[in-house]
Chains A and B, each alone.
Chain A
Amino acid sequence: MAARPAIPASPKNHKVKAPQPGQPMYGCEHIQLLFNQGQAAIDTSIQHYKAILRSIFDTTPLISQTAKLTDGPTVTSLTPTYLCLQCPFTLTEEDRARHGTKKSHRFYVDSRSGALYCQMCDDIVWDPTFEELRLRKMGTGTFSTTRKRKHEDMFEASDPVRDNPTYISSNTTAASCKANGLRGIYNAGATCYQNVVLQSFLHNPILRNFYLSDGHQSSNCDVPHCLSCAMDDMFQDFYALENTNGYTAANILSGFWISEKKAFENLVTTKEQDAHEFFQFLAEELHERNGDGKRPEIGSEHSCNCVIHQTYYGKLQSTTTCQNCNGVTNQVQSFLDLSLPLENLSQKRGKKGSSRPGGILTLQECLDEEYIKSDKCEYRCHNCNSMQQARRQTSIKRLPNVLSIQLKRFEYKQGRNERAAKIDTPVQFPLQLNMLPYTNRARSQDVRDNYELARSCTYDLLTVVVHVGEIDTGHYMSYCRVGDQWFAFNDHKVELAQKSDVLNSKAYLLFYIVRSLS
Chain B
Amino acid sequence: MSSKTEETGKAGVIVAPETAHPVEKISHAVLDDLLYNIVHDLLVKVHRDEKTARANTAAIKVEKLAMNAIDGATTDPKPDVEIETDAAIYKDGKVMLKGNPLKTTKEILCPRCHLPRLLHPTDGKGARKPDPGVIYCKKHPYIDKPGYDIYGQTWVAPGPGRGKKKKDQKLDPNDPSSPAPVEGSAKDRPPNVLSFPSATCSKCKRCILVTRLNNHMGSCIGNSGRNASRAAAQKISNGSNAGSQNNDNTPPGSQKGTPLPGSRAASPRKRDVDEFDEDAEESDPSNPKKKKLKLNALNKKVILKAKSPAIPGPNKKDKPKGSSMLNVEQKVDDDAAKDSTVQVLPKKQTPILKGLSPAKKIKLGPAKPPLPSPAGKKGKRDRDMESESSGTMSSPPR
A contact residues vs B (CB 8 Å cutoff):
19, 21-29, 32, 73, 75-80, 110, 112-113, 115, 121, 123-126, 174, 176-178, 180, 182, 184, 186-191, 218-219, 225, 229, 233, 236-237, 241-248, 250-251, 253-254, 257-258, 266-270, 484-485, 487, 492-496
The answer to whether B56 touches A23, judged by C-beta atoms less than 8 angstroms apart, is yes
Which B residues between 183 and 221 are near A, CB-CB below 8 angstroms?
194, 196-197, 199-203, 210-215, 217-219, 221
Query: Does B2 lie at the interface of the complex (its beta carbon under 8 Å from any beta carbon of A)?
Result: yes
- Taken together as a complex, chains A and B put the C-alpha atoms of A26 and B96 apart, in Å, by 6
Which B residues touch A219, using CB under 8 A?
377-378
Contact of A269 among B203, B218, B391 (CB under 8 A): B218
Given contacts A244-B153, A254-B201, contact A19 B97 (CB under 8 A): no
Which A residues touch B180, using CB under 8 A?
none
Nearest residue in B to A93 (C-beta to C-beta)? B10
- Taken together as a complex, chains A and B put the C-alpha atoms of A225 and B221 apart, in Å, by 12
The answer to whether B51 touches A126, judged by C-beta atoms less than 8 angstroms apart, is yes
- Taken together as a complex, chains A and B put the C-alpha atoms of A32 and B91 apart, in Å, by 13
Query: Does B359 lie at the interface of the complex (its beta carbon under 8 Å from any beta carbon of A)?
Result: no
- Taken together as a complex, chains A and B put the C-alpha atoms of A250 and B385 apart, in Å, by 13
The answer to whether A112 touches B41, judged by C-beta atoms less than 8 angstroms apart, is yes
Contact of A25 among B95, B102, B148 (CB under 8 A): B95
Query: Does B48 lie at the interface of the complex (its beta carbon under 8 Å from any beta carbon of A)?
Result: yes
Which A residues touch B142, using CB under 8 A?
485, 496
Tell me, rounded to whole Å, the shortest Cβ–Cβ distance linking B116 to chain A.
12
- Taken together as a complex, chains A and B put the C-alpha atoms of A125 and B52 apart, in Å, by 9
Given contacts A19-B93, A78-B1, A248-B199, contact A493 B377 (CB under 8 A): no
The answer to whether A254 touches B56, judged by C-beta atoms less than 8 angstroms apart, is no
Given contacts A22-B111, A254-B202, contact A78 B55 (CB under 8 A): no
- Taken together as a complex, chains A and B put the C-alpha atoms of A75 and B378 apart, in Å, by 67
B contact residues vs A (CB 8 Å cutoff):
1-3, 9-10, 30, 33-34, 36-37, 40-41, 44-45, 47-48, 51-52, 55-56, 58-60, 63, 88, 93-100, 102, 110-113, 115, 137-140, 142-144, 148-151, 153, 155, 194, 196-197, 199-203, 210-215, 217-219, 221-222, 224-227, 342, 377-378, 381, 384-385, 388-389, 391-392, 394
Q: List 20 A-B contacts (CB under 8 A).
A: A22-B56, A29-B98, A73-B2, A73-B3, A76-B1, A77-B1, A80-B40, A113-B41, A113-B44, A115-B48, A126-B52, A218-B377, A243-B385, A245-B194, A248-B197, A257-B221, A258-B203, A485-B142, A492-B194, A493-B149
Which A residues touch B394, using CB under 8 A?
243-245
Tell me, rounded to whole Å, the shortest Cβ–Cβ distance linking A257 to chain B.
4
- Taken together as a complex, chains A and B put the C-alpha atoms of A264 and B213 apart, in Å, by 18
Nearest residue in B to A118 (C-beta to C-beta)? B100
Which B residues touch A186, using CB under 8 A?
196-197, 210-211
Which A residues touch B45, using CB under 8 A?
484
Tell me, rounded to whole Å, the shortest Cβ–Cβ distance linking A486 to chain B.
11
Which A residues touch B51, using CB under 8 A?
123-126
The answer to whether B392 touches A243, judged by C-beta atoms less than 8 angstroms apart, is yes
Nearest residue in B to A484 (C-beta to C-beta)? B45
- Taken together as a complex, chains A and B put the C-alpha atoms of A257 and B208 apart, in Å, by 16
The answer to whether A254 touches B2, judged by C-beta atoms less than 8 angstroms apart, is no
Which A residues touch B143, using CB under 8 A?
496
- Taken together as a complex, chains A and B put the C-alpha atoms of A487 and B151 apart, in Å, by 12
The answer to whether B213 touches A250, judged by C-beta atoms less than 8 angstroms apart, is yes
Tell me, rounded to whole Å, the shortest Cβ–Cβ distance linking A220 to chain B.
11
- Taken together as a complex, chains A and B put the C-alpha atoms of A189 and B219 apart, in Å, by 13
- Taken together as a complex, chains A and B put the C-alpha atoms of A79 and B48 apart, in Å, by 19
Contact of B60 among A22, A80, A124, A266 (CB under 8 A): A22
Tell me, rounded to whole Å, the shortest Cβ–Cβ distance linking A247 to chain B.
8
- Taken together as a complex, chains A and B put the C-alpha atoms of A22 and B95 apart, in Å, by 8
Which A residues touch B148, using CB under 8 A?
495
Tell me, rounded to whole Å, the shortest Cβ–Cβ distance linking A17 to chain B.
11
Contact of B138 among A29, A75, A177, A187 (CB under 8 A): A177
Given contacts A73-B2, A241-B385, contact A124 B47 (CB under 8 A): yes
The answer to whether B215 touches A269, judged by C-beta atoms less than 8 angstroms apart, is yes
Tell me, rounded to whole Å, the shortest Cβ–Cβ distance linking A119 to chain B.
13
The answer to whether A28 touches B215, judged by C-beta atoms less than 8 angstroms apart, is no
Contact of A189 among B48, B60, B111, B213 (CB under 8 A): B213
The 9 closest A-B CB pairs, nearest first, are: A269-B218, A178-B138, A188-B213, A250-B199, A189-B214, A78-B33, A254-B202, A257-B221, A244-B394
